[in-house]
Amino acid sequence: MYSKEVSQTREAFWTRFGQYMSPVLSAEGAKFNWINYKTGQKIISFKMRADKHKGRISIQISHKELSVQQVYFEQFQALNKILHAHLGEQWTWNFRETDVYGKLSCSIFKVSQPLNLYKKEDWPGLISFFKPRIIALDAFWSEARYGFEEFS
């Protein structure tokens, strides 16, 4: 695929996903932008990514100081039982990884393979992968975010 075609396909998928999720209310009963999830914490983000091999949903902890990342990561570890109760599955915990921009971050993630963003026949599989997990992360966050307020 050419880069313009790749960009258009990515945009079309995320637009479709956003339309699919638009009637779904947050855990607190509000309309919500699921694609650009705002946690209210600058260094904590919920990310959904897809490419020609897989879908990936993650909790990303990004801060220039590794000691700050560690404090946040340890707080997530302390809340692991609550997170697992909402997700209903184990995720991979990675204390150190390089993000797409080459910066060190911590992540807690789940990967679905094989799904190809550039094959429209795989879109239902990607949507089925992302939807329950982002909803579960929202439910977790509506309960757990207060445990992170002391750090901000």
Peptide bond into 114 cis (omega under 30): yes
Q: Closest Cα partner for 13 from 118, 128, 125, 134? A: 118
Residue 50 to residue 53: CA distance in whole angstroms: 8
With beta carbons less than 8 A apart as the criterion, state whether 57 and 134 touch. Answer: yes
| Residue 8: band (very low, low, confident or very high) from pLDDT cuts 50, 70, 90 | very high
Nearest by Cα to 9 from 123, 143, 129 = 123
pLDDT band for position 3 (50/70/90)? confident
Is the whole-model pTM more than 0.85? yes
Residue 70 near residue 129 (C-beta atoms within 8 A): no
pLDDT computed for residue 152 by the predictor: 62
pLDDT tens, 110-128? Answer: 999 899 999 999 999 999 9
- Would you list the domain boundaries of the chain? 42-151
CA distances from 41 to 10, 32, 37, 150 (A): 27, 17, 11, 11
Give pLDDT, residue 147.
Answer: 86
| pLDDT band for position 103 (cuts 50, 70, 90) | confident
pLDDT at 70 over 80: yes
Confidence band of 62 (pLDDT split at 50, 70, 90): very high
pLDDT at 1: 55
CA neighbor of 133 nearest in space, from 76, 55, 28: 55
- The token pair that represents 19 in the structure block: 């339309």
Distance, CA of 41 to CA of 23 (rounded, Å): 25
Are the C-beta atoms of residues 68 and 74 closer than 8 Å to each other? no
pLDDT of 99 strictly over 90 = no
- CA distances from residue 106 to 4, 68, 80, 92, 96 in whole angstroms, order as listed: 32, 11, 15, 11, 5
**C-alpha gyration radius of the chain:** 16
